[in-house]
Homo-oligomer: A and B are copies of this chain.
Amino acid sequence: MLPTFFTSETASNDVVERSFTVGGVSGLLWTPASPSAGLPLVLVGHSGGTGKRAASVVERARRLVAGGFAVAAIDAPGHGGRPLTETDEREVAAVRRALRASEPAGSIIARYTADVAERAVPEWRATLDALLEQPEFGDGVPVGYFGLDMGTGIGVPLTAAEPRITAAVFGRFRHETLVETAGRITVPVGFLLQWDDEQVDRQSGLALFDAFASREKSLHANAGGHRETPSFEADDVVRFFTRHLHVATAA
């Protein structure tokens, strides 16, 4: 018998996937088939132009669940089949034009993402409210956030606004629209950059890392282009959350 919150459930390779809807926004929760008590929760934000079922989201969920975490993802506004506003349509067209012309799309993406984030942050917070009412999460369950690209553009204002998020991994994003908000974040931060990123200017990415007020923050910059983050970084993200969220559970 499914609790009414979850609308479907599948299981494979020791991972249980359940779908849910909060305020009209559909999401997925992945948990270990045999979860231990006090399971920490990591919210995963997808990149632009994808959705909660993007291969990168599912792959992160698989690794995090294997590491003893629950993982939740929702579709951002205008993503994953959700309707586009006029602004969404105009901005998406502008991004596509720039990419087709091999022109720098970074500042258009940053402007568009800031608009999406204003709508996405309250949706994530409502989702978190609803998830933490489920019986698998006790009081004071540690919560983390992990998102690159647009997932950072949404995750930085979300983490600044949401005191329940106590550790976060961001990256591959410019500083201009986020630097002020990043300066209000004090929780441990992991940050991923690509040293030869053709979309994110190196100094701008470094400036965003610099902006976080966190006492504990770690930058990982790897040689290669925007989409060439090495797969070993995904395992390192699991270790990052193990250090910061599992420790909180034990305390």
A232 close to B223 (CB less than 8 A): no
Nearest 4 pairs of A and B residues by beta carbon = A219-B221, A217-B223, A218-B222, A220-B220
User: Is A119 in contact with chain B by the CB < 8 A criterion?
Assistant: no
User: Complex Cα distance A210/B236, Å?
Assistant: 22
Binding site for B on A (CB under 8 A): 195, 206, 209-210, 214-223, 230, 232, 236, 239, 243
Judge whether B218 and A220 touch: CB under 8 Å.
yes
Q: Is the CB of A217 within 8 A of B206?
A: no
**Residue from B222, B236, B243 within 8 A of A217 (CB atoms):** B222
A168 CB to nearest B CB, Å: 14
Determine the chain B residues whose CB is within 8 A of the CB of A219 once the complex forms: 195, 219-222
Question: In the assembly, what is the distance between CA of A218 and CA of B229, in Å?
Answer: 10
Within 8 Å CB of A230, what residues of B?
A: 218
Which of the residues B195, B215, B221, B222 comes within 8 Å of A223, measured between beta carbons?
A: B215
